[in-house]
Structures are given as C-alpha cells and as structure tokens.
A and B are shown apart, each in its own frame.
Chain A
C-alpha cells in the first residue's frame, strides 16, 4: 500500500543551534487515523506547518507520492487550531462554497456539497449565520466540515480540542471517528485520541520520541511521563 503522506528526515529550526524539528520520519496510509502527541512546545504545530509548506524545513515531504505542490495540496483538508482563521464570511454556507467556487466548481454543485457537509456536522440550521455567532464547539465542527466540503483524501488537524468543553470534545470525536479518510491529528489531549487514533507518534524536543499502536503508547505511563505528557 502506497502512503498518502511520507515525511523523511524533516528538520526545521528558527535558530540553527536549536532545531524545533529534527530527523522526523513517518508515513500515513489511506483510511488510518494518526495522532501526533507532545507537550506544549514539542513542535506539533510546527510539524504541521512544515508539512503544508507554510514553514520551510529541510528533508522530504511527499503527498500522494509527489512533492508538495498546489495540485496535491488541494487534496488535503486542513483544520487550524482557531476556527476564526478559517471562517470569515458573513454567512457560514459561503465559507463552505467559496473555496469550491474559486476552484472552478459550478455554484450549484458547490452549494450541494456545502449543504451535505453542513448536514453531516449538524449545522444545517445555522447556515445563514456568520461563524462568529456560533459557539466554539459549533465553530470547530464547522471548520472541519468546511475542510471536508472539498472532498479531501487526507485531513490534518491542529489541536482540535483546544478550549472545548467535554460535550463538544465528545461530539468532535464522533464526527472524526465516522470519517473514512486518512486523518493526522496533532494534539496533547490523550483522552481524545484514545479510541480515535490507530497509531501515535510522540514528539519530544523536536524528535519522534516513540511511535506505535495507540493502545500501547497511551497505556505506557512511564513513556508519557518522560515525554512530559502526564
């Protein structure tokens, strides 16, 4: 099976003496859910930014067997930590349709995709409201649904549970669990990843400190403690 995402020896540093990421290597396959865990400052968000080409690191990052390019980036859905970074239109539905229309999708098709995505996120009733008037939980779900409206093959999420209450976290977990596409979730919320991720990579001091099946990693308290996660 060919990986959807291959990362080889990725290195990134703001200051060359202290790399934020060093020798990161991993792959993500179709349909799987991968968790990237790490304490605050471990480099999770930086890793996602490097994968997306927003920060320039050294090493190789390949999406769908090709180097990073606009063409293959269109097949990737991204959900940022703060939904306000993504949703800015006066009506929620426009936040869904606009990127599609801009990509050349006919307006009627874009609207149908948007409505389906809104329905799946349980947000059909609020499609005419701006995202700023929704609760944070709804905005997070909207950001994910907006990313899914473009029918991506891979979904990258940065700290999806940040600032959410327990119920919103559970709702979000249900939404993500029901997806069939490959997901990469950067989070420090171990409870959220339990039962959601199949594989876990533990980041510490910019390196992959440990990796393995989620059950093994998340039950190894000594390892999690050494990585600063508990």
Chain B
C-alpha cells in the first residue's frame, strides 16, 4: 500500500511538472478534469473537493480577466495554475507522512523538510476552518450578499480572519517550540 501511494505521488508530481511545461489549452483542460477526479477520489468527496478548489479557480479567473482587460491574449497560465494546484495538493494529501518522518533522522534535512510540510498542512487546515467560521458569521449578519454594506462587512471579515490567523499561528508556533519541534 505504501509503495502504491509513493508511486501515486510520483505520478502526480510528474503530471504537475508536465502541466507546467505544456501550453496546449486542450491538454490542460483534460489535465484539470483528471486532476479534479483524482482529488475527489483522494478526499472521498466530490463536493468537498470542488469547494476547496474554488479559491484557486477564482484566482485563475482573475488572472485571465486581467489579461483580457489589458488586451493581451488570454494565455494558458490560468488553466496551468489550476492543473498544477490539483495535482500537487492531491500528491500532498496521499503522501505517507507518518512513515516518511519516522524513517527520517531527527535533525536531518529530510526531517526538517517533512516537519515544515506538516506544519504548513496543519496550518492550512486551521486557516480553512477559521475562514469558514468568519464567513459563516458574516453571512448570518448580512442577509443580502450584495446589499448595502456588504463589501464593508466582507473587508471587516477578511481583516478579522487575518487577525485570528495570526493569533492561531502564534499559538501553534509557541506550542511546537515548547515541544522542541520549532526553532
């Protein structure tokens, strides 16, 4: 099973690298669809997987919009961004982290690297949870998403999210430094 996972990770990393190199939009589109399906399998939920992809799709959309507004041809970059995101996050998800860190020697470069990746992964989950809470709180107060004051409330929610994330990051770092796992 572990070997299968590692092979899966290698294939996904290779797919992300290929997506970074090619420029054909048709192939990239196929890559995006394939990436979405693989992500859904890894997360065992198509709905959850699709929802988590929305921010990067939005980012890629803004990228395409900016190219279009500036009268330059819309490149393959937005599709590339989505495809690479899908392949790399799925690879990150299925990596056998526990086995890798158990095999790594404490203090070695591999150990530090895996630990850093796990910190990032954990904090990304915290950030996602905090974002969900803040946006839920906002939606309870703002009944009409595009009504008067909605942008102000969105800005306040984002500011609150930044502050909360900083506090959570500080607590997480403090806890790990006391456990001897952060410098």
Binding site for B on A (CB under 8 A): 49, 52, 54, 70, 73-74, 76, 78, 80-82, 84-86, 88-91, 94, 98-99, 101-104, 107, 132
User: In the complex, which residues of chain B have a beta carbon less than 8 angstroms from the beta carbon of A90?
Assistant: 97-98, 118
The 8 Å CB contact of B179, one of A81, A86, A91, is A86
User: In the complex, which residues of chain A have a beta carbon less than 8 angstroms from the beta carbon of B102?
Assistant: 94, 107
17 contacts between A and B (CB under 8 A): A54-B178, A78-B178, A82-B171, A84-B172, A85-B171, A85-B175, A88-B119, A88-B176, A89-B97, A90-B118, A94-B101, A98-B101, A99-B180, A101-B106, A102-B106, A102-B111, A103-B180
- Kindly state whether residue B122 has any CB partner on chain A within 8 Å: yes
B122 to chain A, nearest CB (A): 4
User: In the complex, which residues of chain A have a beta carbon less than 8 angstroms from the beta carbon of B122?
Assistant: 84, 88
Binding site for A on B (CB under 8 A): 97-98, 101-102, 106-107, 111, 118-119, 121-122, 125-126, 168, 171-172, 174-181
User: In the complex, which residues of chain A have a beta carbon less than 8 angstroms from the beta carbon of B111?
Assistant: 102
What separation, in Å, do the CA atoms of A91 and B98 have in the docked complex?
Answer: 7
Closest Cβ neighbor of A131 among chain B residues: B122
User: In the complex, which residues of chain B have a beta carbon less than 8 angstroms from the beta carbon of A91?
Assistant: 98
Contact A89 B178 (CB under 8 A): no
B68 to chain A, nearest CB (A): 40
User: In the complex, which residues of chain A have a beta carbon less than 8 angstroms from the beta carbon of B121?
Assistant: 88
Contact A78 B181 (CB under 8 A): no
B110 to chain A, nearest CB (A): 13
The 8 Å CB contact of A78, one of B98, B101, B118, B175, is B175
B169 to chain A, nearest CB (A): 10
Contact B180 A74 (CB under 8 A): yes
A96 to chain B, nearest CB (A): 11
User: In the complex, which residues of chain B have a beta carbon less than 8 angstroms from the beta carbon of A88?
Assistant: 118-119, 121-122, 172, 176
What separation, in Å, do the CA atoms of A91 and B102 have in the docked complex?
Answer: 12
A102-B181, A107-B102 known; A89-B118 Cβ under 8 A = yes
User: In the complex, which residues of chain A have a beta carbon less than 8 angstroms from the beta carbon of B106?
Assistant: 101-102, 104
A85-B174, A88-B118, A104-B106 known; A132-B125 Cβ under 8 A = yes
What separation, in Å, do the CA atoms of A64 and B121 have in the docked complex?
Answer: 36
What separation, in Å, do the CA atoms of A84 and B118 have in the docked complex?
Answer: 13
Contact B181 A80 (CB under 8 A): no
User: In the complex, which residues of chain B have a beta carbon less than 8 angstroms from the beta carbon of A132?
Assistant: 125
B19 to chain A, nearest CB (A): 26
Contact B181 A99 (CB under 8 A): yes
User: In the complex, which residues of chain A have a beta carbon less than 8 angstroms from the beta carbon of B118?
Assistant: 88-90
Contact A80 B180 (CB under 8 A): no
What separation, in Å, do the CA atoms of A78 and B172 have in the docked complex?
Answer: 13
Closest Cβ neighbor of A73 among chain B residues: B178
Closest 4 CB pairs of A and B: A88-B122, A85-B175, A99-B179, A85-B171
What separation, in Å, do the CA atoms of A78 and B171 have in the docked complex?
Answer: 12
B48 to chain A, nearest CB (A): 14
What separation, in Å, do the CA atoms of A84 and B133 have in the docked complex?
Answer: 16
What separation, in Å, do the CA atoms of A85 and B129 have in the docked complex?
Answer: 13
User: In the complex, which residues of chain A have a beta carbon less than 8 angstroms from the beta carbon of B178?
Assistant: 52, 54, 73, 76, 78
